[in-house]
């Protein structure tokens, strides 16, 4: 009976990190059980990349690590062991061909995240790991030379079990990999259980915040611009009036504020600044390719060439239509003013607005809506060469449960796969020759 067997390894969580860890250890001959609380593994993986799964990125290692600041050093070894080319080759060997898209992003050629999930799950099983779904681990306890893994039936049963739903299921293993993911998109099963389990074992767990999250802005400007997407703009994050970070690319206005790639990139810094009670402002440079002098010359040319046109009409050559009323309002230049009557002072105001269109950030969307959770098991208590706990021999961590997060672009999944791989192979090595 499952409940009485002592496994070599129990992996908790059937995401990319957990499946990779389980397959790795099972492939080395260890009796491995993977417990997943949802009815099937890889639910978050299935929705990743808008259902297309941005698996990794072909950035070189140093650039890749740059997307993980400040946790980059911790991941170096895991990436040395198993990096993007290894992952691409790994999936290729499973029949998942990949393509490289804009920004070095790697996707399955099928554009189908489900294909990735199916291939990974099948591989994990072929390696010899037993996958049990609908079982949620609640607690981990270090027992004499082994681990007691206390679990419970969660949700729909895959098959009848000889226990009542409310009965705890005691399972034993010589080693454990905790790979329960973060706290966002709880419908995928990632509900932060691993943070509680790790804290219960005395591990320090840093505070969880949303990373890669849309931001709320003051007033009704964003709502009035809802649906507007700005491309090739520069977004500056101002904290207490100082430029703290910037990003170039695309952003989107929503009914509550702003979203889109460059907003997500800067969002964790905004979240942390807000948490610190600091003033957070987004400044959009709508004409980043033009310096102030060049932009002023362009505005002069436009005004001279179309002297009889009204200011509002003239703006159509400079801005998307929906931004025109906002520009008129915020620059203080009447929409019906003829171009030839616009003063040098007004032209300056327009130029400054085009280079520095500001939105005050008042908050952020909830953690449940974040692409990634920042915070987690503190890295100082985990050995980066093995992913083993520095507090408890035989306990390993992998994936987003760690205090690791990165930009969008395939970096987060690569981190999950690489740390999962390392945790699985380290657990196998430890099982061969346990050392405290
Ligand atoms: C909408 C969205 C899109 C994304 N797109 C991308 C992308 O394209 N590229 C990219 O690099 N990253 C992307 N990410 C981030 C990426 O999906 C995650 O970082 C990654 O899935 C983390 O892997 P993991 O294995 O650590 O955790 P998860 O994938 O979260 O898996 C953890 C698993 O553990 C299970 N579990 C939790 N608690 C328990 C318990 N108590 N007992 C048993 N099982 C448990 C969960 O059910 C879950 O299946 C996206 C995230 C979201 C939300």
Condensed to tens digits (0 to 9), the pLDDT of residues 392-436 reads 999 999 999 999 999 999 999 999 999 999 999 999 999 998 765
Beta strands of 355-416 (E only): which ranges? 357-364, 372-374, 395-397
Q: Per-residue pLDDT tens for 323-359? A: 999 999 999 999 999 999 999 999 999 999 999 999 9
Q: What is the pLDDT of residue 144?
A: 80
* pLDDT (mean) for 295-320: 94
Query: Which among 181, 182, 405, 424 is the best mutation to test ligand 1's pocket, defined by most ligand atoms within 8 Å of the CB?
Result: 181
Report the alpha-carbon distance of residue 266 to residue 259 in Å, rounded: 10
Beta strands of 242-386 (E only): which ranges? 242-253, 257-259, 280-285, 357-364, 372-374
User: Is the per-residue pLDDT at 268 higher than 90?
Assistant: yes
Indicate the average pLDDT of the chain.
95
10 Å CB burial of residue 319 (0-12, 13-18, 19+) is middle
Ligand 1 mean position, distance from CA 337 (Å): 55
Q: What is the pLDDT of residue 165?
A: 60
Q: Per-residue pLDDT tens for 149-195? A: 999 988 655 555 555 566 788 899 999 999 999 999 999 999 999 99
Name the DSSP letter for residue 32. E
Report the alpha-carbon distance of residue 30 to residue 427 in Å, rounded: 10
Query: Which among 10, 11, 12, 13 is the best mutation to test ligand 1's pocket, defined by most ligand atoms within 8 Å of the CB?
Result: 13
Ligand 1 mean position, distance from CA 7 (Å): 25
Ligand 1, CB cutoff 6 Å, lining residues: 12-18, 35-38, 41, 43-45, 47-49, 53-54, 136-137, 179-181, 184-185, 189-190, 193, 371-372, 399-400, 410-413, 416
**Which atom of ligand 1 is nearest to 49's Cα?**
8
SS3 358: strand
Q: What is the pLDDT of residue 164?
A: 59
Tell me the chain's radius of gyration from C-alpha atoms: 26
Looking at the chain, the whole-number percentage of residues with pLDDT higher than 70 is 96
Question: Cα dist. 13→45, 174, 233, 282 in Å?
Answer: 12, 17, 40, 38
Q: What is the pLDDT of residue 1?
A: 40
Task: Please work out, in degrees rounded to the nearest 5, the angle formed at the alpha carbon of residue 155 by the alpha carbons of 154 and 159.
Answer: 90
Q: What is the pLDDT of residue 166?
A: 63
User: Is the per-residue pLDDT at 3 higher than 70?
Assistant: no
The closest residue, in CA terms, to atom 6 on ligand 1 is 48
How many Cβ atoms sit within 10 Å of the Cβ of residue 63? 11
* pLDDT (mean) for 79-87: 98
Q: Decide: 36 and 11 in contact? Cβ < 8 Å.
A: no
């Amino acid at each position: 009976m499952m409940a009485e067997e002592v496994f070599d390894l129990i992996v908790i969580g059937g995401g990319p990190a957990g499946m990779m860890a389980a397959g790795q250890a099972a492939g080395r001959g260890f009796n491995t059980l993977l417990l997943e609380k949802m009815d099937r593994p890889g639910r978050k993986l299935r929705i990743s990349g808008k259902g297309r799964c941005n698996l990794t990125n072909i950035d070189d290692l140093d650039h890749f690590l740059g997307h993980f600041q400040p946790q980059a050093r911790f991941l170096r070894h895991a990436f040395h062991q198993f990096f993007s080319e290894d992952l691409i080759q790994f999936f290729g060997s499973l029949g998942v061909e990949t393509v490289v898209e804009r920004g070095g992003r790697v996707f399955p050629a099928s554009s189908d995240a489900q294909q990735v999930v199916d291939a990974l799950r099948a591989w994990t099983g072929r390696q010899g790991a037993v996958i049990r779904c609908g079982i949620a681990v609640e607690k981990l306890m270090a027992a004499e030379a082994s681990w007691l893994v206390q679990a419970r039936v969660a949700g729909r049963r895959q098959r009848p079990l000889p226990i009542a739903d409310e009965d705890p299921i005691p399972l034993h293993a010589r080693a454990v990999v905790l790979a329960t993911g973060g706290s966002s998109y709880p419908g995928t099963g990632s509900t932060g259980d691993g943070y509680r389990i790790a804290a219960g074992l005395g591990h320090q767990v840093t505070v969880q915040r949303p990373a890669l999250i849309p931001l709320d802005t003051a007033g009704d400007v964003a709502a009035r611009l809802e649906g507007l997407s700005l491309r090739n703009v520069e977004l500056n994050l101002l904290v207490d009036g100082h430029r703290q970070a910037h990003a170039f690319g695309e952003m989107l206005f929503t009914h509550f504020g702003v979203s889109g790639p460059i907003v997500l990139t800067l969002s964790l810094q905004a979240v942390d600044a807000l948490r610190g009670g600091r003033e957070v402002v987004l400044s959009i440079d709508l004409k980043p390719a033009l310096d102030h002098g060049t932009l002023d010359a362009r505005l002069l040319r436009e005004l001279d060439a179309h002297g009889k046109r009204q200011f509002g009409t003239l703006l159509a050559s400079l801005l998307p239509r929906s931004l025109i009323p906002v520009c008129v309002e915020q620059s203080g230049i009447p929409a019906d003013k003829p171009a030839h009557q616009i003063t040098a002072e007004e032209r300056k105001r327009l130029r400054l607005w085009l280079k520095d269109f500001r939105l005050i950030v008042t908050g952020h969307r909830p953690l449940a809506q974040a692409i990634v959770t920042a915070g987690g098991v503190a890295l100082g208590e985990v050995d980066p060469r093995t992913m083993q706990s520095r507090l408890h021999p035989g306990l390993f961590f992998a994936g987003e449960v760690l205090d690791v997060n990165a930009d969008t672009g395939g970096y987060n999944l690569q981190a999950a796969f690489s740390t999962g791989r390392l945790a699985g192979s380290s657990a196998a090595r430890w099982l061969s020759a346990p050392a405290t």
